[in-house]
A = this chain, B = another copy of it.
Amino acid sequence: MTTELRGKPVARQLLDRASKTVEDLKKIDCFPTLAIVRAGSDQASVSYENAAIKTMERVGITVESVVFEETVNAEAFLQALRGLNQNKNVHGILVMQPLPGTLSRNDVARCVDPSKDIDGLTPENLGLVVENEKNALVPSTPKAVMALLDHYAIELEGKDVCVIGSSPVVGKPLTLMLLNAEATVSNLHIKTKDTKRYTQEADIVISATGVVELVTADDIKDGAVVIDVGFGYKDGKPVGDVKYDEVAAKASAVTPVPGGVGSITTAVLAEQVTQAAWRQCSE
């Protein structure tokens, strides 16, 4: 019997904890606030922003939206970030991606105060993942995967894990987090000669490529755990990297898309806002 690893219960657990932290913070006159900064109005970005706002409201986090035209001058955008860094009433900063062509991801990442960087955008926070610093503010998607694995008590120590995809936002930090949990990790990607050689023997396969239905039943061993971090569309319907039906018939557990990892990320953001606020307000 295959377990469907749904994201909602994981998100609920994270949000319950975040709500309690918000209550505690308000008792010490700290009103956790997230600034969401966006340039342009990329559709996926706006709808993710709306989801994030709803999640924040649910746990009592105030949201300030700062919106620029897509044609924003880089210096004006960075200046706004510097203002938010200075603003003591703002505890977290979320910069929506993709950034328009006028803005360099590196310049933006280096401009955000690491102590307010609740989506692990800054080099400093990424470096803390290498160091296995437990209290670091880290990229939300890989942390959502780790929260899901933890929630469903999927053991990692000594397990053979394949991560497909090696972006700096998901694949690489996820590889590091899994290594920190003492899994044996293989990071595969577009240049990998033979992915099956790795995936067919893996206890856990995690795909984060955005290539629709990349992972088929033939790619996994019987009883594997399969985590789908992909998101795309097929025949107008949202689907992930995993050919769900056939993989579910062979795997011991699999995340759906939608309703899997993606439904946890804004809860991770909320948790990290409370964590950042706690550190700033108790200083």
Tell me, in angstroms, the Cα distance from A105 to B184 when the chains sit together: 25
Q: Within 8 Å CB of A130, what residues of B?
A: 123, 126-127, 129-130, 168, 172-173, 176
Q: Is the interface of A mostly helix, strand, loop or mixed?
A: mixed
* Pair A168/B131 contact, Cβ less than 8 Å: yes
Query: A201 at interface (Cβ–Cβ under 8 A)?
Result: yes
* 18 A-B residue pairs with CB within 8 Å: A106-B133, A122-B124, A123-B124, A123-B127, A123-B131, A126-B126, A126-B127, A126-B131, A127-B129, A127-B130, A130-B168, A175-B175, A179-B187, A182-B189, A184-B186, A184-B187, A184-B191, A184-B192
Interface size on A, residues (CB 8 A): 39
Tell me, in angstroms, the Cα distance from A66 to B173 when the chains sit together: 36
Query: A193 at interface (Cβ–Cβ under 8 A)?
Result: yes
A12 to chain B, nearest CB (A): 30
* Pair A172/B166 contact, Cβ less than 8 Å: no
Q: Which of A133, A176, A184, A187 lies at the interface centre, i.e. has the most chain B CB atoms within 10 A of its CB? A: A184
- Contacts A127-B130, A130-B172, A186-B187 known; 16 new A-B pairs at CB < 8 A: A109-B131, A123-B131, A124-B124, A125-B127, A126-B127, A126-B130, A127-B129, A130-B173, A132-B168, A158-B191, A166-B179, A175-B175, A182-B191, A184-B187, A184-B198, A186-B186
